[in-house]
Amino acid sequence: MILGLRPSVVITTAVAVVGAVILTIFTWAGSPVTSGTFLVATYTGLFLGALWAMYATGLVVVYTTTGVFNFAQGAIGVFSAFLYWELHVNRDWHSIAALLVVVGLFAPALGVLLDIMLMRRLRTATLVVQLMVTVAVMVLLLALVGVVWEADTARRVPFLFGIENGVDLGPSRLPWHRLIVIIVAIAIAVSMRYLLRRTRIGTAMRAVVDNRELAALNGARPNVVSSTSWALGSMLGALGGILIAPELGLDPATLNSVVIIAFAAAAFGALRNLPLAVVGAMLLGLLRQHSETWLDFGPNFQIAHRSVAPLLLFAVVVALPQARLQVGRVAHHLRRHERYTNWWEGLIGCGVIILLAVMLSGGWLNFKIWDPAPWGLLELNSANAALAMALIGCSLVPLIGWAGQLNFAPLAFAGFGAFVYLKLAGDTASGYWIPLVGLLCAPFGALVALPAARLRGLYLALMTVALAQAMSLIFFPHPSVIPRTKVGLQFPDIELFGITFDDRRGFFMLLVCTFAIFVYALVLLRRSRFGRRWIAINDSQAASATLGVPVVWTKVVVYAVSAAIAGIAGVFWATVAGNLDSAQSFDLLIGFEAVLLVAAAGVSIPLAGIFLIFKPLFTGLAARLEEAGNVDYLVTFLDQLVIFGPGLMAIGMVFNPRGAIFEMGRGFSPILPWRKDARAEIAAENAQKREPEIGELGLERPFTPEEVIAIDRRLGILDEVVPKEGYGNSRS
């Protein structure tokens, strides 16, 4: 123990400091250190840190008071910044007026709306559903920005009071804008701290997240409290977005990615400690600015400066103490019978998939909008791209669907698989290497999960976001990872069983068969001891551990299996694309959308990956229709579906956490002759209406006589005499 700190903190700090010193020595750019340059780097860093602190404050406030970690914080900032631009620049409002309207009216309204429609229903939801819904809000807000403010014009948000006016600080000038940001960020953090710790509403906010019922009985109004939190969080996001926009430019993706830095800062404060989160943000700002000023990582790592946030997140995760296994947090709302596909149903299903694919591509099944002819190059290309995504989607099923662990970096895993394949097979493109790719990707997945598996699930989720960003900033851009020296394709056509799959139709069939094999493997895996054990750790980690299941190790194994699947899928993904581009292929948003779609499909179902075919398929279909040129409205509809579909579907998880395929299956299975149980279940459900939980009653208003009867029945003390009015209503 040094200074009362935990050994893991001391060791991590020491390693980080030594690492930073070594890095500094080896990458010193050689620019002269003067008090002027040093000062500029310092206060620019502080300014950046202050902006990130604003985002992090919003995250921490919402998380401590509602228990929901808001991935949409950055997107709220993006939307607000665009709205501010619309009012201030496009409609010539005064900046203060625009600021007041956006931050004071629009943002709190958005926060309250989100709370009423979605967030307050997530109280008892699983972490997967909670995060999926906030990610869905993020994707939807960004899509909306893209549709309302099309990217065809250049937009700039001006600095408050102009960039050239400011305080003179020795050799340079600190613009008012930046000074204001630093002061405002600190003022916000201090007042939020005061609000949470010292005021009545703040105490209520913190109490409600611990025990909503108990807090309600003591006079707190949970709904008012959670709406207040979301309004505050949303205002902070809006303010951050508007103030950062002049620096970064009005680009939705760039502005949105700021939130990942805020994740790291929030994690620095263990997600709940506001002052530490602000310190973390400032630290990040200083590290980023100083490293950019003094260090030169060479031409291959030019944008590596931006990865300080993921790196800090890794360090924090390593330093945090092991989380205790929680008792008494079992989700009790899953009161529905669940039946899993058995081996011969799986075989039939996979047969149907292959048959359908053959018939569709051969033109035997045709729809009116489509030529009856067999698919041409265009259709086959979109179908292949779609199937490759579906393969990647399969990797999420055991991980998210069964073990309940999140992964927002499926594309990074897939890209790693493609990289391994490239190094193994080289120009031969021999498919026999593919199983080995899977084997080599597994340890990579395990390595990613290892530091965070002993923490709560949210940290693992944040780790994967950081991983996705770090990989796309440091790993994939490096020219020797996926070299761009050759002319033409980096990933030539796969050769397997003596066949080169160079024609699109053959490759399509290879992909379909691989998908069927993946799905069938998942069916078998679900029925195996591993599937059971993974679901067990999702249902109750504490119980699993007391049965002798090593929880941390089991999580690591699931990540390894998922990474292996994603790695193999990545080979096909890269081959379909022919090239992997570090900027476009690994776009964070594509990964988010993929995870959303699989989750909305019903991520515990082996077939869930199939939903990932929709985006490439609809895009391809829209292109095909546009070419044919006679159904405009359909093209527009498909375009909008591609843009808004994933987010809207995932938001549906609030109301239907099991997902679309699950519900379709419930409707469909009674038709199957051997599913007597499904018919019986439907009948039973129709016969019996759900009685309200006792715990849900009586908090918002007095009991009604009917509820009193329900309670008595549940407690087994129902008198045969039905109580008359006045029994449960003290006011009458």
Q: Which residue ranges make up the site for other proteins (CB under 8 A)?
A: 324-325, 327-328, 330-332, 334-338, 529, 532-533, 535-536, 538-540, 542-551
List the helix and strand counts (H, then E) for the chain: 29, 4
Compare residues 251 and 663 and give the one whose CB is closer to other proteins. Answer: 663
Is 233 in contact with 110 (CB distance < 8 Å)? no
CB of 271 to other proteins, least distance (A): 20
CB of 435 to other proteins, least distance (A): 23
- How many alpha carbons lie under 13 Å from residue 627 in its C-beta half-sphere? 11
Compare residues 157 and 661 and give the one whose CB is closer to other proteins. Answer: 661
SS3 368: coil
CB of 322 to other proteins, least distance (A): 10
Q: Who contacts 643 (Cβ-Cβ below 8 Å, separation ≥6)?
A: 143, 146, 147
CB of 333 to other proteins, least distance (A): 9
Is 239 in contact with 61 (CB distance < 8 Å)? no
Compare residues 267 and 536 and give the one whose CB is closer to other proteins. Answer: 536
The rounded distance, in Å, linking the Cα atoms of 178 and 181 is 5
The rounded distance, in Å, linking the Cα atoms of 120 and 400 is 23
CB of 531 to other proteins, least distance (A): 9
CB of 396 to other proteins, least distance (A): 17
372 by Cβ neighbours in 10 Å (0-12 / 13-18 / 19+) ranks as exposed
CB of 548 to other proteins, least distance (A): 4
CA-to-CA separations, 483 to 422, 423, 477, 575, in angstroms, rounded = 10, 10, 9, 15
Compare residues 715 and 722 and give the one whose CB is closer to other proteins. Answer: 715
Compare residues 32 and 716 and give the one whose CB is closer to other proteins. Answer: 716
The rounded distance, in Å, linking the Cα atoms of 390 and 404 is 20
DSSP tag of 608:
G
Compare residues 539 and 700 and give the one whose CB is closer to other proteins. Answer: 539
CB of 628 to other proteins, least distance (A): 47
Compare residues 34 and 528 and give the one whose CB is closer to other proteins. Answer: 528
CB of 336 to other proteins, least distance (A): 7
Q: Who contacts 246 (Cβ-Cβ below 8 Å, separation ≥6)?
A: 156, 157, 158, 159, 163, 177
CB of 325 to other proteins, least distance (A): 5
Q: Which residue has the tokens 């993929």?
A: 594
Nearest CA-CA partner of 38 in 133, 170, 153: 170
SS3 365: coil
Nearest CA-CA partner of 554 in 535, 569, 574, 568: 535
Q: Who contacts 329 (Cβ-Cβ below 8 Å, separation ≥6)?
A: none
The rounded distance, in Å, linking the Cα atoms of 387 and 391 is 6
Q: What share of the chain is helix, strand, coil (3-state, %, to 5)?
A: 70, 0, 25
Compare residues 223 and 669 and give the one whose CB is closer to other proteins. Answer: 669
Compare residues 177 and 212 and give the one whose CB is closer to other proteins. Answer: 212
Is 114 in contact with 108 (CB distance < 8 Å)? no
The rounded distance, in Å, linking the Cα atoms of 226 and 231 is 9
Compare residues 365 and 547 and give the one whose CB is closer to other proteins. Answer: 547
Compare residues 240 and 346 and give the one whose CB is closer to other proteins. Answer: 346
CB of 39 to other proteins, least distance (A): 44
